Amino acid sequence: MCLFLLSLPKCLHRPFCPGVFIGILAFVAAAVTFRDKPGKPEKALWTLVFLGLMCAEVWMMGIDRQENEDKETKANAVLLKGFADIGEGIKAAIAESDRNFEATIGKTNQILQNITGGNSFGVVVPQPFGGGDKLPLVVWNHGDQPLSGVTITIAHTQDPDWGSAFFKPIFIGTIGPRDHAPVPESLTPTVETKSGQDNYWIMISAQNGTVSQSLWLRKDRKTPGFWAYSYLVTKSVTITKSKGNIPKGATLMQPLLHKGWSDEVTTPH
């Protein structure tokens, strides 16, 4: 009875909480003990009351258990959602980190290409616009990265001592992307009688390597007194894998740029 009275305030907010019917049952059982020789009908009535209170208590315990399970299910759902949100946050952070890393690598690669020159290379182009025996030259940067430390050598292959020209470099300096620089020396072509052409072997070096250029000259067939030209730019490459009859480690000249005769095309080059 004392326990029932002590727990009663806690159940005021919920009249049918677990233990209420047990308390009532205890109270009724205590009251019945003071009955003096109850008759059979009264005993039957009290038995039904006891059974009813016990069933009510069992029913209430079931309700309470279901409510606890529902609360636990909701709590688990909230916890799982929290973990899912954390997982999505981690995925988003990783994706953002990957994007930042790729952007950084892209900028780093661009900076390295600008420093090294990337795939840019130089090409010497005659400027036969004024006519005469002297043929001015310019060096074009054929690429999107700047070339620094550009140096060229020009060997006239008809000269008996043409090989010594490779020990007389001409320093050009830095050439911006798709830009050009003048060559401080000019050519004086002398055509060969049999072919009607003249030929020069030009080496163009920069911080990203050296390319080789063959330059051919002949009299312009459209404009008398002027020179027409054609050239081929190649680069030495080392084979890393065997290809047919070419063994690994062999060196080949890879074509980079070829231009036909300037008097046979509609656009200058």
Q: Is the pLDDT of residue 112 over 70?
A: no
Lowest mean pLDDT among 10-14, 71-75, 178-182, 230-234: 10-14
At residue 40, the pLDDT reads 75
Q: Is the pLDDT of residue 13 over 80?
A: no
Give the pLDDT score at 18: 65
* Average confidence (pLDDT) over 145-165: 94
Which residues are within 8 A (CB) of 208 and not within 5 positions of it... i.e. 6 or more apart?
116, 117, 118, 119, 120, 121, 147
Report CA 63 to chain centroid distance, whole Å. 58
- Asked which of 108-122, 165-179, 191-205 is least confident by mean pLDDT, the reply is 108-122
pLDDT at 260 over 70: yes
| Range with lowest mean pLDDT among 1-5, 224-228, 244-248 | 1-5
Contact 186, 136 (CB under 8 A): yes
Average pLDDT rounded to a whole number, residues 198-205 = 96
Pairing mode, if any, of strands 170-175 and 180-182?
A: unpaired
- pLDDT tens profile 31-65: 666 666 677 777 777 778 778 877 877 887 778 78
* The model scores a pTM over 0.85: no
- Topology of the domain comprising 121-264: Immunoglobulin-like (2.60.40)
Report the mean per-residue pLDDT for the chain. 82
Using N-to-C axis directions, what is the helix angle for 20-33 and 40-116, rounded to 10°?
Answer: 160
Torsion of the alpha carbons at 20, 21, 27 and 33, rounded to the nearest 10: -160
Q: Which residues contact 139 (CB under 8 A, 6 or more apart)?
A: 122, 123, 124, 125, 150, 152, 172, 175, 180, 181, 182, 183, 204
Strands 251-259 and 227-238: antiparallel
Report the pLDDT value the prediction gives residue 34, as an integer from 0 to 100. Answer: 64
pLDDT of 100 above 80: no
pLDDT of residue 3: 45
Output the pLDDT for position 64.
76
- Residue % of the chain over a pLDDT of 90: 39
